[in-house]
Amino acid sequence: MTNAADRPAPTWRQALGAYRDPRVVTMFFMGISAGLPLILVFTTLSVWLRDVGVSRTAIGFFSWVAATYGFKFLWSPLVDRLQLPQPLGRLGRRRSWILLAILGVIAGLIGMALTDPKSDLWQMALFAFVVAFSSATQDIALDAFRIESAPEHMQGATAGAYQAGYMLAVKIVGGALALYLAEYIDWGTAYAVMAAFMLIGIVTILIRPEPTAARTEATDELLAKIQAAAGLRGGRQTALTGIATWFSTAVIGPFTEFFTRNGSWTLLILLLIGVYRLSDITLGVMAGPFYIDLGFSKTEIANATKLFGLFAAIGGALFGGFVVARVGVLPALMTAALTVIATNLLFGFMALIQTDSFWLLTTIVSADSIAAGMAGSAFIAYLSSLTNVQYTATQYALLTSIMLLPGKLVAGFSGVVVDAAGYVLFFAYASALGAPAVILILVLVRLERLGIIRRKRNGKEEAAGDAAARPAPGSA
């Protein structure tokens, strides 16, 4: 077998051509479905709460609702292995779970639309939790759907398209449009309209085919060893042993396989995943309140951070996919991490001069959007390269949970930091949180160049470059 490192990197024409593939186009629309509920329980909700007078400290703690995304690994084995009953089950395992989750998001958004946070903040938190839980469930199934729908050499393109749709939802639909509706009508109407936009995900998943389930010989052998060690092979099968067998397949197998495959370097990889998004997640909680406190109107916020930032965000996402294809995941991760640190410092500069310049805000937010898009595409491609196709949903949920939990935990105290030290030191603090990721990437790059770490995926050894960089067979 030819090593991935011996294969030529795709040309820019080949990288661009991948974005015409129906599987890649599908991920653009599903990116909208994934990004919309997250922004509605995160930044947009923070603006809503601040607009009606909720304290910054309370808003910071309220962001812990979104920490639900960080615990999705707890129920990911169910989504990965459990077949839903009819009639949903006819769609297939991945699509049926995605559809059920979207319906849950719609129900939660309608509940938020009918709630007044000034009089019932706890009820708002409850419906926000429903949205977050349903959205996290959608992410579990959708990530598996994305990885299983396209070969490894297309993972950079699917990640880029997914991020582009995600940014469209974040910047325009759940961002600018929601703020416009809140400004000229009311917040309840805004969230009701957002619920209607979730129909995009329903239509898309209904017209696309279910991906083919994959199996690998190495994974089957490992699973057989686990079940044999637990005494589940041979002998009379009872209801209890049936449950134990399912548990070993759905829960123990994915985690054991991941740690076995990555060996002694597993903790280093997980540490990088845990700290990579600390900086931008922490900044994101206080971004909305920062704009409000500087005196910008909701319309100005929508124009600067959402409308003008859209092309920057999509461009950053697509460029991130190109960089992954051309130079590999780790160099792309490094470039994006440094860019995020730099753009976060720009917010500190704006806080220092205390300006209400609309165009300065637009410039800084556009730079931040480019950085976020690049980081998102590179990071999605990296996480995808670490999963085994036989346990896609469970392993990817584990990795994204490790990424989200530290960020959400730290971000919950962002309001406390602002109240105690001010915005200037807060943005410096948020930038500093990006330094550990840079250091860990340098370590991993060094270890891979020395040949100490050689990535293995699905039982096959790959070079440090990455599978995402492979050209499509027969591509021009």
How far, CA to CA in Å, does 243 sit from each of 80, 82, 202, 240, 255? 16, 12, 32, 5, 18
SS3 454: coil
What is the model's pLDDT at position 459? 45
The residues of the chain scoring below 70 in pLDDT are: 1-20, 151-153, 155-156, 213-254, 262, 306, 452-476
State residue 7 phi and psi, 5-degree precision.
-95, 140
d(CA 283, CA 413): 11
Its pTM stands at: 0.67
For 123-168, give the DSSP string: HHHHHHHHHHHHHHHHHHHHHHHHHHHS-GGGHHHHHHHHHHHHHH
What is the model's pLDDT at position 471? 32
Q: Is 315 exposed, middle or buried (0-12, 13-18, 19+ CB in 10 A)?
A: middle
Q: Is 387 exposed, middle or buried (0-12, 13-18, 19+ CB in 10 A)?
A: buried
Position 208: which residue type?
R
Task: Please say whether the beta carbons of 434 and 278 come within 8 A.
Answer: yes
What is the model's pLDDT at position 153? 66
The residues near 401 (Cβ < 8 Å, ≥ 6 apart) are: 69, 70, 71, 72, 73
State residue 120 phi and psi, 5-degree precision.
-150, 75
What is the model's pLDDT at position 328? 77
What is the model's pLDDT at position 185? 93
Task: Please say whether the beta carbons of 413 and 429 come within 8 A.
Answer: no
SS3 115: coil
The residues near 430 (Cβ < 8 Å, ≥ 6 apart) are: 279, 280, 282, 283, 344, 347, 414
What is the model's pLDDT at position 114? 94
Which residues lie across from 456 on neighbouring strands?
461
Residue written as tokens 């279910």?
A: 210
